[in-house]
Structure 1
């Protein structure tokens, strides 16, 4: 098949998902191309694209894509259509709100099906907000131009259905996956902190809750140390909150780095998110056997399976502080839990399974839509 992936910003879990899919599809003999925004992603995206570009039979195209709806979207949509026609794309797979819009608004390419993976996308907006109303209504319009919906979690599917409506096209849940090399253990540094956080520094990720929990532990004579790895719009506010609690030396902010490098900086990973879809950082940590404390949000219970009762409520400072105290106080117990979760992730969340399930969904959608 000729497969064209369309996304806006090549960052985060969405970017990893697209790259894992593209590599797996190429390895299985398909001709693949990628369209992404020309201005976002930074050096890391440039490096990954540079390595992959020689294998992209339909090419790598970096074009101007605005974050919000604007006049430039018309030109971007036409460009996506031209690239799809030139490559004789049979699958046009849009990722995220903007990638999904471009993939489906572009004039139809003969014989092609249009596929959409929201990755949260429009659902990040409050339903009653002006942008929420605009994007939710656009999603409803685009339902008529979609032959296949792919969700990375049952939670994502159900949330989309509740907020937007039930898709009138073929719908599948295909969970994210990790590779065999990610099950290699991470060696914790001798001077590792007690807690490490890895992710975007913004309120949605619950970083403020983590800092408040650490402050509460310090007040109870438990001098916990934490390393908060990442960057984001609320980084300065979180630094100020740590200073306000007198935690300038106990809580450090080294900036972004690869997840496995960051895992070595702490004994327990904290994922205090207020909302998630199916976060790669949890899959990566559990695959590496990393003791993890996470909240019961989004698709995280799907990752934990029968161990979902180990998850804590989001936004609960006391519950997070208690979980940290318990994990540090009984490292053997939390490691046993991590070992069991590692085996569960290995059996259910592989890249190969993800790639094969996506390709099978493409084939089914082509058959049901009469575009084989």
Structure 2
């Protein structure tokens, strides 16, 4: 920590699930360890027992507390009373920094922060998109409306933080060139994540972890697995971990291809337990921003094969043979086959471990973000 006095930091976001929740948890813990007072404001209607357990692990780091209230996913008239409730809660906490994550969290932080400024209360207003609204198409009316709102809100923003250069480029393509202070700060994982996970004796050849929906490519994974078996002319093993609206579709796909006994499908579990049960992690997404599964798997010492989408190439390195064109199950099968048959494949095509740690640790992430907070606060 520097000689600057500690900051009072409030992170605002809607849904406490997935990558945003992981990002905020890591950021809050690192900032608290650095001596800052940290709090969280988020939705109360999403998340289950797993998320409740995660909240319990970070409660000791939240000196400004955890505030949960109903926040709709879409824009609705209920946003008006929800915003007023959040504003009163934010005002009572007297933050120095309001950091909004995702579209709804970003709107809440910037609008509340601007109203506080009208009342002569100094607070810095920051925004991280985390993909979110940037997934809309510019050619749709909904996309046009969302990007217009994003542009208007930039006038009430002191700083933007993008989790990868891909996200910043996408923002500039769809919203416009950023005219506020902005930084690219990569997602990071904690020191515990960098401990190598030993491989269990019965580890499967390939692991898929994620939502069971076409956007994340489970169908591509199943198709590529079958093609990998044909390439190697022998049966293999795989595991799919997750849940989602199209789960039955993939179960039917596995059954129709006779893969039901060689691909095991399980619900969400502790990610390091999943890594222990696998040799190689496959991320076959059709679209991503900066997925944590890639960072977690590399930190745990696993081989990673992934679609060349979003900011994944910024992690694995442009031109790496571990990067596959999205939707190309033939190319994916070729890489999967080589990863378990070619000696030294992992070392040749994945990033150096020390260099990876230097860039993608949560300590580095939090240090750079907090430095921006200090700069905007004039310290």
Same fold (TM over 0.5): yes
Quote the Cα distance in structure 2 between the aligned partners of 1:31 and 1:189.
41
2:266 pairs with 1:259: no
Quote the Cα distance in structure 2 between the aligned partners of 1:191 and 1:326.
20
Give the aligned partner of residue 365 of structure 2: 354
Quote the Cα distance in structure 2 between the aligned partners of 1:185 and 1:27.
24
Provide the secondary structure at the position in 1 that maps to 2:89. Answer: helix
2:79 pairs with 1:68: no
2:115 pairs with 1:108: yes
1:7/1:96 contact within 8 Å kept: yes
Provide the secondary structure at the position in 1 that maps to 2:279. Answer: strand
Q: Give the stretch that moved more between structures: 134-143 or 282-291.
A: 134-143
Structure 2 residue ranges without an equivalent (≥5) = 1-6
1:80/1:103 contact within 8 Å kept: no
Provide the secondary structure at the position in 1 that maps to 2:266. Answer: coil
Give the aligned partner of residue 3 of structure 2: none
Quote the Cα distance in structure 1 between the aligned partners of 2:261 and 2:67.
45
Matches within 5 A, 1:70-219: 70-106=76-112, 107-109=114-116, 110-219=121-230
2:238 pairs with 1:226: yes
Of residues 298, 303, 306, the one that matches 2:315 is 303
2:11/2:101 contact within 8 Å kept: yes
Decide whether aligned partners of structure 1 residues 141 and 87 sit closer, same or farther in structure 2, where only a CA change above 3 A counts: same
Of residues 300, 305, 309, the one that matches 1:288 is 300
Quote the Cα distance in structure 1 between the aligned partners of 2:242 and 2:345.
25
Provide the secondary structure at the position in 2 that maps to 1:178. Answer: coil
- How far 1:168 moved relative to its partner? 1.9
Quote the Cα distance in structure 2 between the aligned partners of 1:278 and 1:5.
19
> Deviations along 1:238-272, whole A, 9 cap, x unmatched?
11221222211122211111221111222111111
Structure 1 residue ranges without an equivalent (≥5) = none
1:291/1:338 contact within 8 Å kept: no
Decide whether aligned partners of structure 1 residues 157 and 71 sit closer, same or farther in structure 2, where only a CA change above 3 A counts: same
2:279 pairs with 1:272: no
Provide the secondary structure at the position in 1 that maps to 2:340. Answer: helix
2:26/2:190 contact within 8 Å kept: no
2:96/2:124 contact within 8 Å kept: yes
Give the superposed CA RMSD: 1.8
2:29 pairs with 1:23: yes
> Deviations along 1:284-313, whole A, 9 cap, x unmatched?
111111011112111111112366353111
1:292/1:338 contact within 8 Å kept: no
Quote the Cα distance in structure 2 between the aligned partners of 1:111 and 1:228.
48
2:304/2:322 contact within 8 Å kept: no
Quote the Cα distance in structure 2 between the aligned partners of 1:306 and 1:215.
27
Give the aligned partner of residue 240 of structure 1: 252
- How far 1:52 moved relative to its partner? 2.5
Quote the Cα distance in structure 2 between the aligned partners of 1:237 and 1:156.
31
> Deviations along 1:298-343, whole A, 9 cap, x unmatched?
111111236635311111011001011111212x323424775323
- How far 1:127 moved relative to its partner? 2.6
Provide the secondary structure at the position in 1 that maps to 2:73. Answer: coil
Of residues 323, 326, 329, the one that matches 1:317 is 329
Quote the Cα distance in structure 2 between the aligned partners of 1:25 and 1:360.
11
Provide the secondary structure at the position in 2 that maps to 1:308. Answer: coil
Decide whether aligned partners of structure 1 residues 127 and 339 sit closer, same or farther in structure 2, where only a CA change above 3 A counts: closer
